[in-house]
Structure 1
């Protein structure tokens, strides 16, 4: 009789070129007397396998080994156990490779399709980015069995390494690593100035460096005030700078694969020449108070000033109704110069690099102004008489003296009589003359010479006036 025990699984798979074992599950109650394996043939000519163990092992397998296999077990009690299974011989997984729909890709623009090819039977596919499984999101990343779709590829999507693992129920194989360069950029431009200063001295050197994130490396062009320069590359070296090199320098990057440009905000370079050779230009003619308008112009032989400061006698010179400046303050005009305008004028030119100055001493010719004579009006004989003629003037006046209209041989401002006599009484006249202005001024002085003691014996003019007043008052009482 035959039992209904399950001796073998219904299906068994094996790989071509390898061995397969048919597992046999024997009931514990069965004591085997005879065990036979055979392959069932449609022609009825079954292949009989004599096998010493319960399990049958075949190999190396070929496609012809596929089919139905039976096992018969006869127990010691003459009971018969039958089992049957089907062997499927699979082609081995081999030659796993990844191919791309594009040889090169541009970030954001390209859609890349990776196809995994392999030999074998009943294959399934798995995509890995490095060691991480690729997760499809339905938009950017999509997986369709042996194909991986990357829409609007990002630069890191295919840096990988990308692997494709192909497997069936018996074995698996992984492709060689795949990666693809994705062109991107240019972006993140940066510029560096050496030296990094707000302004540079004339004749100094400057190096500008430009960098950009780009694949492949971007072509870098340089522009000065919007005009392209012949120099190209990451570095722009400028030597022996002049003021004409002041302006805006910019860097533009171009990627020939992405066909994209990127420009960097311009860097401002200011070249300044130090100020030197400052000088004040002034009239060469003589200045006469009340007659002349003066222009003082301050300029430097080298360098350009940002500011101009004027001082007189080390104090700031302010605007007045007679002192005016040009808009750039380089020229100072004094309208109808006066004697008070004489002094030291200092012009100071300043720029961001340094300061330089010049001093001009202004002399104003004037006078003589109103003359006067100082000295006693009454003296006693043998007293010393000192008369002084005062008449403010520049240059100092020359003097002549007259006594009672008679010219004296005195040409100084002081006239001294050591021991006057009665004949020295009279009218003294001083005449002051300025040889530049051509003006003269006169002053007179009345001198009376008295005898010794006469000035003390006589009442003073004030005492005489008091006496006269008292006498008049007395007469009124009578």
Structure 2
């Protein structure tokens, strides 16, 4: 008869399948292996700085049926039997994904006055990091390469749709922003608004003048009545 010597778990090793680049949405399996007798129990964890870590699985394999970008991070397993417990080293998962829908911002965010400077900023979540290219709608040639695009001396003829393309080795995504200049004619609406305010105040002023005249006439009539009564007496 063979005699099997009991032993505590050996230092566990972690392997991943597939071993190639991990793409978002793909199926990924982590396997924890250790020599132990009696058979060991396995527990998987993700390292996130929380001392009260929640276990992810109590099997020797941790399976992601459709791995997401949020699953990127460091993983480790523990192996335990009645004779002892061992913990594996950290195993890093880096999920690659195409750029998400870019967000585009403009500065200044108020009305763009003719002749002023305008800065556009494009940002997108991507792994690996995205590169950015700026275009104007209906124009084939790119205007600028880079996350930040500044246009000086913005004119009315520059108005239109601008869009940035965020791209990496996994794909591309773009977002559009419409720009238009308020022009020098922006002064006209301001003058009109001021004129309307002044015109709306005129009736109020006339009403105040009329009331004052009425009060003055009333006081004068009362004074005349008092004088007449004194003369009669």
Q: What is the TM-score normalised by the length of structure 2?
A: 0.67
Q: In structure 2, how many angstroms separate the alpha carbons of the residues matched to 1:270 and 1:150? A: 48
Measure the CA separation in 1 of the matches of 2:61 and 2:183: 68
Deviation at 1:241, TM superposition (A): 2.4
- Post-superposition Cα deviations, 1:360-388, rounded to whole Å, max 9, x if no partner, equal xxxxxxxxxxxxxxxxxxxxxxxxxxxxx
Which residue is 1:129 aligned to?
Answer: 46
1:285-317 CA-to-partner distances (Å, cap 9, x unmatched) read xxxxxxxxxxxxxxxxxxxxxxxxxxxxxxxxx
Q: How does 1:267-286 map to 2 (within 5 A)?
A: 267-271=177-181, 274=184
Check the 8 A contact 1:220/1:251 in 2, yes or no. Answer: yes
Give secondary structure in 1 for the equivalent of 2:157.
helix
Structure-2 residue corresponding to 1:113 = 29
Residues in 1 aligned to 2:103 and 2:113: alpha-carbon distance in whole angstroms: 21
Which structure 1 residue ranges, 5 or more long, are not aligned? Answer: 1-41, 43-65, 68-87, 136-142, 275-350, 356-478
CA pair 98-158 structure 1, distance change in 2 beyond 3 A: farther
Instruction: Figure out how many residues of one structure are paired with residues of the other and give that number.
Output: 181
CA contact (8 A) 1:218 1:253 kept: yes
Task: Give the equivalent residue in structure 2 for 1:436.
Answer: none
2:69 is the alignment partner of 1:151: no
SS of aligned partner of 1:240: coil
| Structural mapping, 1:115-194, within 5 Å | 115-121=31-37, 122-130=39-47, 131-135=53-57, 145-159=59-73, 161-194=74-107
Q: Deviations over 1:151-189 (max 9, x none)?
A: 110222242x32211122211101012221112342252
TM-aligned CA deviation for residue 273 of structure 1: 5.0
Question: Structure 1 pair 270/216, CA: closer, same or farther in 2 (3 Å)?
Answer: same
C-alpha RMSD over aligned residues? 2.6
Q: Does 1:263 align with 2:174?
A: yes
The structure that is strand-richer by fraction is 1
TM-score under structure 1 length normalisation: 0.35
Distance 1:232 1:168, change over 3 A: same
On the 8 A contact 1:272/1:353 being kept in 2, the answer is: no
Alpha-carbon distance in structure 2 between the residues aligned to 1:226 and 1:149? 47
Deviations 1:80-129 (A, max 9, x none): xxxxxxxx632442231212123431222x11111112233333322223
Distance 1:100 1:90, change over 3 A: same
Match of 1:239 in 2: 152
Higher Rg: 1
Instruction: Indicate how the Cα distance of structure 1 residues 154 and 197 shifts in structure 2: closer, same or farther if over 3 A, else same.
Output: same
Conserved? CA contact 2:24–2:66, under 8 Å: yes
Q: Which structure 2 residue ranges, 5 or more long, are not aligned? A: 48-52, 190-233
Higher relative contact order (CA 8 A, sep 6+): 2
